[in-house]
C-alpha cells in the first residue's frame, strides 16, 4: 500500500515571540520541519505534502531544499486542523493509498511508532496515535472501548469524567486518503473554539459504520514545540539521545554532556571525541578517528586514523584522508587533504588540495580570495611549506617542493624546488641600541611632563 504524508506547518507560533515561522526553528542544526519529514521517511512515502501558512515562502524553501519532490500548499486562514488537512486535497487528487497526518512542530515520533501506526491501518479505517500523559492538562482525550477508539473529545468540550482520562491525542492520524477527505468534508465547527477539528473524523467514521483504532507511544515522542523553553528542552532531549546512541555504538565520549551533535552526524566506532566538540550539519567521521577538545566540524568528512584539534575548525567541503593531522587553531575550508598530510598549528587552508604526506608549517595561509573570486591552491605530495608562508592563489606547489619560512609565494613552484619570496635581510650594527636609547629618552620626557 502506498503512503502519502500530510505535514501541517502553517502555524505562526506566537509564543515563540519570533519573526521566524515556528516550524523553522532548529534542533540539532535542522528545522523542526525537517525532523518531522525525516521521521515520516521511514514509511517511504510516495508523496509528501506540506501545508504552509505563516511564512509560507520560507517554509516552502526549507521543505524543498530538503526534498525537491515535496509539494507545498497554503492555508491562508487558520481555521483548524481539519481545514489545514483539506488544503492538501488537490495535491493528492487521484492518490489511492493511505494518508498519514504529521505535524511540523512535533519532531520526535519514532520509526517504530509510525510503523505500528501504518500496520494498524490494515485493521481499522481510521487510526489515531495516542499517549498516556503524566499530566493530561488541556490535551484532547481518547475515549476508547477495548481496542476500539469511539471518539476524541477536545479538553474545552470534555465533561469532568472525560477530562479524567489520561490517554491523550497526539493529533497524528492515518486513514485511506479518499476516506480521510470524505470525512473532513463532514466536519463542522460547532464547538467551543469555532474551529474545524481533525479529531471529529473519528466520531464521523463511527457514525458511518467505519472502524477506528489507536496505537500508543511514549509521551516524549509527541513533544510539540510551542515556546523557546520547549525548544531548549527538545534540543536537550535530542542531544541526550544522540550521545547515548554514540556510546552504544562504540564511540568514546570523554565528557558526553559537552559534545553537541547535529541531526545527521555519523561517527564510526572506536572514534574518540574529547570534551566541548561541536558537530554542525553534514559531518561523517570514520572509525578510529580522534577529535580533540574545543573543535568545531561542519559539512566535512574525516577518515580513519585522522586527528583533529584541539581548537580546530573544519568548514564545509573538507575531506580528510586517512591519518591526516589537523592541529590547534587550524581552520580548513573546501579543501582535500590526502593521506598523512599535516597542518599542525595556526594555519588557514581554504580552497586547496594538499598532497599525501605534505607538511604545512605554522602560520601558513592560502590567500584564496581576491575580493571578488575564490581561487585554488594546489600543494603536491610530500611538499614542505615553511612557517608563515603566504600562498597567493591561484598557485601550485609541486611534489617534494619547499617554501622558505616567511615567504609570499605568487608563482608556481616546480617539483623538488625551493621557493624564497621575502626581502633580503640587512643587519645595521648598533642601530637597535641607539633606537632604544632614543625611545626611552622620549618616554622619560613624556613622563616628566605629565608629572609637572
Residues with catalytic function:
345
Q: At what angle do helices 177-185 and 200-207 cross, to 10 degrees?
A: 100
Q: CB neighbours of 301 closer than 8 A, spacing ≥ 6?
A: 283, 284, 285, 286, 318, 319, 320
CA neighbor of 283 nearest in space, from 269, 298, 304: 298
d(CA 398, CA 419): 11
- Number of helices (H), then strands (E), belonging to the chain: the values are 9, 35
Task: Estimate the share of the chain in helix, then strand, then coil, as percent rounded to the nearest 5.
Answer: 25, 30, 45
d(CA 50, CA 71): 6
d(CA 248, CA 269): 9
d(CA 39, CA 50): 14
Whole-Å CA distances, 375 to 333, 334, 378, 397, 437: 12, 11, 10, 14, 47
CA neighbor of 114 nearest in space, from 96, 95, 129, 99: 129
d(CA 73, CA 173): 19
Q: Is the dihedral of CA 443, 446, 450, 452 positive or negative?
A: positive
Q: Does 394 sit behind a cis peptide bond, omega within 30 degrees of 0 on the bond before it? A: yes
Q: Report DSSP state, residue 241.
A: H
d(CA 92, CA 1): 15
Strands (E), 347-420: 348-354, 359-360, 365-367, 377-379, 384-385, 390-392, 395-397, 402-403, 408-409, 418-419
DSSP codes of every residue in 134-180: SS-TT--EEEEETTEEEEEE-GGG--HHHHT--EEEEEEEEEEHHHH
Residue pointed to by grid coordinates 618616554: 443
Q: Does 310 sit behind a cis peptide bond, omega within 30 degrees of 0 on the bond before it? A: yes
Amino acid at each position: 500500500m502506498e503512503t502519502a504524508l500530510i505535514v501541517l506547518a502553517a502555524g505562526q507560533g506566537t509564543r515563540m515571540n519570533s519573526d521566524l515561522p515556528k516550524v523553522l526553528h532548529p534542533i540539532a542544526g535542522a528545522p523542526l520541519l525537517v525532523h518531522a519529514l525525516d521521521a515520516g521517511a521511514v514509511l517511504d512515502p510516495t508523496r509528501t505534502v506540506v501545508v504552509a501558512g505563516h511564512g509560507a515562502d520560507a517554509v516552502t524553501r526549507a521543505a524543498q531544499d530538503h526534498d525537491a519532490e515535496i509539494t507545498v500548499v497554503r492555508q491562508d486562514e487558520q481555521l483548524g486542523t481539519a481545514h489545514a488537512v483539506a488544503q492538501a486535497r488537490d495535491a493528492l487528487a487521484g492518490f489511492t493509498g493511505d494518508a498519514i497526518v504529521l505535524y511540523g512542530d512535533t519532531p520526535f515520533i519514532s520509526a517504530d511508532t509510525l510503523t505500528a501506526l501504518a500496520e494498524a491501518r490494515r485493521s481499522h479505517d481510521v487510526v489515531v496515535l495516542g499517549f498516556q500523559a503524566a499530566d493530561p492538562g488541556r490535551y484532547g482525550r481518547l475515549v476508547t472501548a477495548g481496542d476500539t477508539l469511539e471518539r476524541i473529545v477536545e479538553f474545552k468540550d470534555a465533561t469532568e469524567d472525560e477530562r479524567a482520562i489520561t490517554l491523550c491525542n497526539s493529533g497524528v492520524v492515518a486513514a485511506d486518503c479518499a476516506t480521510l477527505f470524505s470525512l473532513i468534508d463532514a466536519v463542522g465547527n460547532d464547538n467551543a473554539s469555532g474551529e474545524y477539528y481533525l479529531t471529529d473524523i473519528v466520531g464521523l467514521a463511527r457514525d458511518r459504520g467505519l472502524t477506528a483504532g489507536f496505537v500508543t507511544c511514549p509521551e516524549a515522542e509527541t513533544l510539540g514545540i510551542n515556546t523557546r523553553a520547549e525548544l531548549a528542552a527538545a534540543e536537550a532531549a535530542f542531544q541526550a539521545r544522540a550521545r547515548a546512541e554514540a556510546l552504544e555504538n562504540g564511540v568514546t565520549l570523554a565528557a558526553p554532556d559537552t559534545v553537541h551533535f547535529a541531526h545527521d552526524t555519523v561517527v564510526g566506532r572506536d572514534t574518540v571525541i574529547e570534551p566541548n566538540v561541536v558537530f554542525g550539519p553534514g559531518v561523517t567521521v570514520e572509525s578510529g578517528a580522534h577529535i580533540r577538545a574545543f573543535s568545531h566540524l561542519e559539512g566535512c568528512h574525516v577518515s580513519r586514523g585522522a586527528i583533529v584539534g584541539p581548537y580546530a575548525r573544519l568548514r564545509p567541503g573538507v575531506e580528510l584522508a586517512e591519518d591526516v593531522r589537523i592541529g590547534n587553531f587550524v581552520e580548513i575550508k573546501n579543501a582535500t587533504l590526502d593521506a598523512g598530510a599535516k597542518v599542525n598549528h595556526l594555519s588557514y587552508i581554504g580552497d586547496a588540495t594538499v598532497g599525501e604526506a605534505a607538511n604545512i608549517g605554522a602560520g601558513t595561509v592560502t590567500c584564496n580570495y581576491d575580493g571578488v573570486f575564490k581561487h585554488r591552491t594546489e600543494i603536491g605530495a610530500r611538499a614542505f611549506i615553511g612557517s608563515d608562508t603566504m600562498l597567493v592563489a591561484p598557485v601550485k606547489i609541486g611534489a617534494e617542493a619547499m617554501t622558505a619560512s616567511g615567504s609570499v609565494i605568487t608563482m608556481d613552484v616546480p617539483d623538488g624546488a625551493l621557493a624564497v619570496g621575502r626581502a633580503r635581510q640587512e643587519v645595521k650594527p648598533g642601530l637597535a641600541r641607539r633606537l632604544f636609547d632614543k625611545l626611552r629618552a622620549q618616554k622619560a620626557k613624556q613622563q616628566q611632563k605629565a608629572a609637572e
